[in-house]
């Protein structure tokens, strides 16, 4: 006999069943409605044309312009610098924000904590490309705009994960250090920092890895790096150069993923 562990839905009351169906139904209805709303202006002729377009682009991409690589080293170096310096900048600001946002280290849950959480949400909601767009308009195109954009986006990400780690620490260790008569700074140094250090390194390297990917496109809006080259090649429809840039990006991303995996292994 196949008497398996009884699935949950055998125990559902009729009311729960009804609610479930209602939930599923409204999800489907909403999706269909959204689909129609979204495609009101879609020109289906272009869409049906896509396979030919794709074949055409594919055709022009091959072979990639290998000779173009020479012009990509400098932008690649810039891209890596944007990601690394931007991550450093973001982490620098994220650490204090995380301590202000964690409910067990914040100086005031009433005022400071909501403010820190707002900073985190604002930074997280806005993509680095949008930050770059704004910064290029404000301080002009170049690496600096890219670095600050990456930094601003990283603050929220790092601070969020870090403050969650801070809230999960073992409180008995904190109490023990406090009981020796340690001051606030010393409690952070001796009881909290050792506990969150692995998480800190893991999060930072993880974000750096993401930032490498993000910084490849910041150039599209003028914030330096490979994206500038990409933009230029796209503008002249030089698809074989675009393909070459993709190869370089792919290579960089694979390497950065490997580096970040190694560092995380070493730290934890």
Binding residues for another protein restricted to 166-225, rule: CB under 8 A: 170, 172-173, 175-183, 185-186, 189-191, 194-195, 197-198, 213-214, 216-217, 220-221
Question: Residues touching another protein: how many (CB under 8 A)?
Answer: 83
Which residue from 11, 46, 63, 110 is in contact with another protein, where contact means CB under 8 A? 46
Cβ neighbours for 162, distance < 8 A, ≥ 6 positions apart: 94, 95, 98, 196, 199, 200, 203
Binding track over 70-89 against another protein, x by CB under 8 A: -------xx--x--xx----
Q: Is 16 a residue that touches another protein (CB under 8 A)?
A: no
Residue 37: asked if its preceding bond is cis (omega within 30°), the reply is no
Which residue from 119, 143, 161, 205 is in contact with another protein, where contact means CB under 8 A? 143
CA-closest candidate to residue 211, choices 266, 163, 160, 153? 153
In angstroms, the CA 241 to CA 67 distance is: 9
Which residue from 10, 14, 35, 236 is in contact with another protein, where contact means CB under 8 A? 35
In angstroms, the CA 108 to CA 104 distance is: 10
Asked if 124 and 97 touch (Cβ cutoff 8 Å), the reply is no
233-252 residues near another protein, rule: CB under 8 A: 234, 246, 249-250
87-116 residues near another protein, rule: CB under 8 A: none
Q: Is 260 a residue that touches another protein (CB under 8 A)?
A: no
118-137 residues near another protein, rule: CB under 8 A: 121-122, 124-127, 129-130, 133-134, 137
Nearer to another protein (CB atom), residue 3 or residue 236: 3
Measure the CA dihedral 87/89/92/95, to 10°.
-50
In angstroms, the CA 216 to CA 46 distance is: 29
Q: Is 147 a residue that touches another protein (CB under 8 A)?
A: yes
Q: Is 5 a residue that touches another protein (CB under 8 A)?
A: yes
Nearer to another protein (CB atom), residue 41 or residue 236: 41
CB of 112 to another protein, least distance (A): 19
Nearer to another protein (CB atom), residue 106 or residue 233: 233
CB of 143 to another protein, least distance (A): 5
Q: Is 63 a residue that touches another protein (CB under 8 A)?
A: no
Asked if 211 and 154 touch (Cβ cutoff 8 Å), the reply is yes
Query: Which DSSP state fits 191?
Result: I
Asked if 208 and 87 touch (Cβ cutoff 8 Å), the reply is yes
In angstroms, the CA 234 to CA 146 distance is: 20
């Amino acid at each position: 006999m196949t008497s398996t562990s009884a699935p949950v839905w055998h125990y559902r009351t009729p009311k729960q069943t009804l609610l479930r169906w209602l939930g599923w139904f409204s999800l489907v209805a909403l999706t269909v409605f959204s689909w129609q709303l979204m495609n009101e202006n879609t020109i289906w002729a272009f869409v049906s044309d896509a396979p030919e377009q794709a074949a055409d682009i594919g055709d022009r991409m091959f072979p990639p312009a290998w000779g173009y690589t020479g012009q990509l080293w400098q932008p690649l170096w810039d891209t890596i610098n944007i990601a690394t310096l931007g991550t450093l900048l973001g982490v620098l600001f994220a650490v204090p924000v995380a301590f202000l946002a964690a409910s067990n280290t914040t100086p005031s849950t009433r005022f400071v904590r909501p403010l820190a959480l707002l900073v985190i949400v604002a930074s997280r909601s806005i993509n680095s490309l949008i930050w770059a767009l704004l910064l290029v308009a404000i301080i002009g195109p170049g690496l600096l705009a890219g670095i600050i954009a990456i930094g601003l986006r990283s603050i929220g990400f790092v601070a969020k994960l870090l403050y969650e780690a801070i809230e999960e620490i073992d409180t008995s260790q904190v109490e023990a250090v406090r009981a020796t008569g340690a001051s606030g700074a010393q409690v952070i140094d001796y009881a909290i920092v050792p506990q969150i250090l692995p998480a800190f390194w893991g999060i930072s390297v993880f974000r750096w890895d993401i930032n490498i990917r993000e910084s490849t496109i910041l150039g599209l809006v003028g914030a330096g790096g490979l994206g500038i080259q990409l933009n230029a090649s796209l503008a002249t429809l030089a698809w074989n150069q675009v393909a070459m840039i993709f190869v370089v990006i792919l290579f960089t991303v694979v390497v950065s993923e490997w580096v970040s995996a190694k560092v995380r292994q070493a730290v934890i």
